[in-house]
Structure 1
């Protein structure tokens, strides 16, 4: 699954770079993305020096050196492995509100070509959890409070030792900001995600499952495996 997604992303990158001078793309930081990113980083023939990278969310309140920081995770898996034209990291310190404004402006500088994302156990995309997701959000980037299901997933993914270690707040790209990207590549492995995938595909379009909005995008590809496939 990860290799199939990486092959499609690499092909889309090569095609886009053949018709325009640069590409701007957003990456999710999660163990579910690791296999895809590993294959993508090893794929030859992509001129990464013409690709600008962003990421879609970041915790507030973690030490800058924490391996659980999403920027650090992406550094290890992709950002420092490839010669990007630029990498724009979300840095909540010292002023998270100011960072929201700064990052929104960076994103708004030009269209976003591609987003590589996943789906949370509670159906979130980025950190737009069911209590706070807004399909018509007027903001592009904002501070959110994470629900307990989302926080517990971070423990289950072995990113934190226990629930009390998981921050309660984060900066996230909003649903409309993600949906404005030209193409979305959504990689969702594992049995723990089966219910979220089922709701994404079959439940009513609702913020009860924020990922259900992906059905309305004109170019979103969903990658699942036998464990996450609700119809297997």
Structure 2
């Protein structure tokens, strides 16, 4: 992979440092494509959880442009969704995943969370869909506070008994939505969301974690250097047997 400037591992976590976001996206997509092809050699269906965030733009672009994937055998899920945004809001994660994945390829299915539904009923419905069969692949990122999905440090639980739950977003998560350009001010950012918890995410056969940008440098440093602990939820990636962390030169920071 000539797109990389460094490669290594920390505990069980493989990491790849790329010179820029474009090359990072290519490396991430290639890792995901290789995994999808391996799974389709053994099974008739691949179940993938996708993150919805600007950090995923490049990997999703190269993934959906690939001619190597039989999308008719892929079932998609998303890992979190806001609660109670206006119905016509552009900021729903469902809208992002429709634009960047579901509307670009002919998938077997994409199961969307409904942030306007009664949360208790929606969690029951989505939990049933999620747990019907094992999750094969998660395409994720890391938050500025080290979260994976919306498992912020104050609610993260490596042994969470609930596969999906409603959480109150911490200040760092809400600030990140402004930093990412999704919202103009923090007052516009929802205070609550539904999220897959950590156990179903790390139960997946493969994790492809794509993390670009200067604003993620501190979180990435914690993943490499801190003990595996919920104070930085993404440190749990170091315990997974098939996890890949793909960075650009800005997020790696040396």
Alignment root-mean-square deviation, CA: 0.8
Other-structure match for 2:243: 220
Cα displacement (A) at 1:66: 1.4
Of the three residues 128, 134, 157, the one matched with 1:105 is: 128
Deviates more, 1:41-50 or 1:10-19: 10-19
**Distance in 2 between the 1:199 and 1:33 partners?**
21
1:23 is displaced (CA, Å) by 0.5
* 2:66 pairs with 1:56: no
What SS is found at the alignment partner of 1:53? strand
Kindly indicate whether the alpha-carbon contact (under 8 Å) linking 1:119 and 1:125 is maintained by their aligned counterparts in 2: yes
Shift of 1:80: 1.1
Shift of 1:94: 2.7
Contact residue 128 and residue 175 of structure 1 kept, 8 A: yes
Any conservation in 2 of the 1:41–1:78 contact (CA below 8 Å)?
A: yes
Q: 1:175 aligns with which of 195, 198, 202?
A: 198
Give, in angstroms, the shift of residue 177 of structure 1: 1.1
Deviating 4+ runs (over 3 angstroms): none
> Which structure carries more relative contact order (alpha carbon 8 Å, separation 6+)?
2
Q: 1: distance between equivalents of 2:158 and 2:117?
A: 29
Alpha-carbon distance in structure 2 between the residues aligned to 1:14 and 1:209: 32
SS of residue in 2 equivalent to 1:115: strand
Superposition deviation, residue 14 in structure 1: 1.5
Aligned partner (choices 153, 161, 165) of residue 130 of structure 1: 153
1:56-135 paired onto structure 2 within 5 Å: 56-135=79-158
Structure 1: distance between partners of 2:242 and 2:62 = 22
Gaps of 5+ in 2: 1-23
| 1:35 paired to 2:66 | no
TM-score by length of 2: 0.89
Where does the alignment leave 5 or more consecutive residues of structure 1 unmatched?
none
